[in-house]
Structure 1
Amino acid sequence: MTEAARIDEIAPRVYRIASDVPGFSFNQYLIAAEKPLLWHTGPRALFAATRTAIARVLDPATLRWIGFSHLEADEMGALNPFLAVAPNAQPLCGAIGALVSITDLADKPPRALANGEVLDIGGARLRWIDTPHLPHGWDCGLIFDETAKTLFCGDLFTQGGSAHAPIVETDILGPSEAFRGPLDYFAHAPDTAAQLERLATLAPVTLACMHGSAWRGDGGALLRALAARVG
């Protein structure tokens, strides 16, 4: 995997950390709040590159929260290495994830967030939203920064390819649907459209995508357009 990672501020005190592999990209997000949070860790192979990128903004040892959407290598593969370098850090996940996986897998007990619970990390208020099977994984959930109106949307709007711009205002639905087509990693649960509508009502202005560019614009409209494609 790549030996270097790019880091760019995409919203006030929110940094996208991008690592490229041939034909694909992995994004982690650093919220440089009073109690800093890393959202997604990336796979273990990206740990050194991600840690080096974080160090350009703050000391990785000061991380307080290591959060992720669901159990998957690119979401939390480097969780324990980050817990090892950040003595006050704690895993942050949903209640289902903590129950079925993270309490056993993590080297420190997780902080499990209930659906709708808000965590104030000092400069950002993060609301956990249970999204089971959206796009996949029983334990899946997302966080919404109520302060900056940023939705950390995980595998939604995944864009293939690499070397993406940090943040765009152009179409990402077309490219993400073209990537989803042959793979279709959505679970297509009965309430997929309803869940996307629930996210749309948050009216996010920034979508922090895990793969590809982050996006700025009318997030509610874009989420509803996605629902029309996959519902």
Structure 2
Amino acid sequence: MSVTNIASGTNVHEIAEGIFRINTPVQFDNGGAFSYNQYLIVDDAPLLFHTGHRKLFSLTKEAVAYVLPPEQLRYIGFSHVEGDESGALNEWLSVAPQSVPVCSRIAAMVSINDMANRPARPLADGEQLTLGTHTVRWFDAPHLPHGWECGYLMEEKTRTLLCGDLFTQGGSNLPAVTEQDILSPSENFRHAMDYFAHAPNTREMLERLAAANPETLACMHGSAWRGDGTKLLLALAESLENKSS
């Protein structure tokens, strides 16, 4: 792991071949702690997944620059429209003049083509986007955990699922990648502050993600995770059904 900003603790770690986790830990006034992650796929057409908040943009940009010149970014992707997911979108579009937003068709239609300084490159459910040696595939996942426009990217070469808010873990002093249990801490976080919409087809969507056989889960908050992603996603589906708040 490389720390790119000593004051903030922002750091970069390669979690899979050519995929880098950019992490900024945050301490709150009430004593709580959290972390915000972006994921950078380095390739012929580099992709950044999650823009980070506008207020953290300079830190995220500094971390991206540790890996590659930010102006080389071609795609700026996110799961759904939210401050930490897409808040700095226009800042990135300004820094990387060849870049375009990547999101679901719903996100493009209802938000991004109005909010963003350039039109989106919407992805249909199951559509692939080739970056070079890496290829990502879009999964529509409305209201999983929240947001009509929500969806995820699966990087096919490394079997890495860019899974956004799924498996959110509280705290900030966490390893970049873990093979330990993240379901229990993420479910404890959810029960304390439930951010799931609990859509009627939640299990169906999680089963579909599980069928993609991910080997790395690139979580937006907390550690990335490595292991049997199919088993973990099905365990989340079971937990949501049995222990819904």
Same fold (TM over 0.5): yes
TM-score by length of 2: 0.93
Alignment of 1:76-91 (within 5 A): 76-91=86-101
Residue in structure 2 matching 1:49, options 55, 59, 62: 59
Measure the CA separation in 2 of the matches of 1:101 and 1:163: 34
Residue in structure 2 matching 1:185, options 184, 195, 219: 195
Alignment of 1:1-231 (within 5 A): 3-22=8-27, 23-231=33-241
Shift of 1:3: 3.7
Confirm or deny: 8 A CA contact 2:8 2:25 kept in the other structure. no
Q: Percent identity?
A: 57
Q: Secondary structure at the match of 1:56?
A: helix
Count matched residues.
Answer: 230
Q: Secondary structure at the match of 2:217?
A: strand
Measure the CA separation in 2 of the matches of 1:104 and 1:20: 31
The one-letter amino acid of 1:16's match is R
Question: Structure 2 stretches of 5 or more lacking a match?
Answer: 1-6, 28-32
Could you list the structure 1 runs, at least 4 aligned residues long, displaced by more than 4 angstroms after superposition. Answer: none
Aligned alpha-carbon RMSD (Å): 0.8
Measure the CA separation in 2 of the matches of 1:7 and 1:32: 13
Shift of 1:4: 4.5
Measure the CA separation in 2 of the matches of 1:114 and 1:14: 23
Shift of 1:55: 0.6
Measure the CA separation in 2 of the matches of 1:88 and 1:157: 32
Measure the CA separation in 1 of the matches of 2:239 and 2:19: 29
Cα deviations by residue, 1:75-109 (Å, 9 ceiling, x for unpaired): 01010001101010100000000000000000011
Measure the CA separation in 2 of the matches of 1:3 and 1:202: 36
Measure the CA separation in 1 of the matches of 2:131 and 2:227: 25
Confirm or deny: 8 A CA contact 1:4 1:49 kept in the other structure. no
Question: Structure 1 stretches of 5 or more lacking a match?
Answer: none
Q: Secondary structure at the match of 2:122?
A: strand
TM-score by length of 1: 0.98
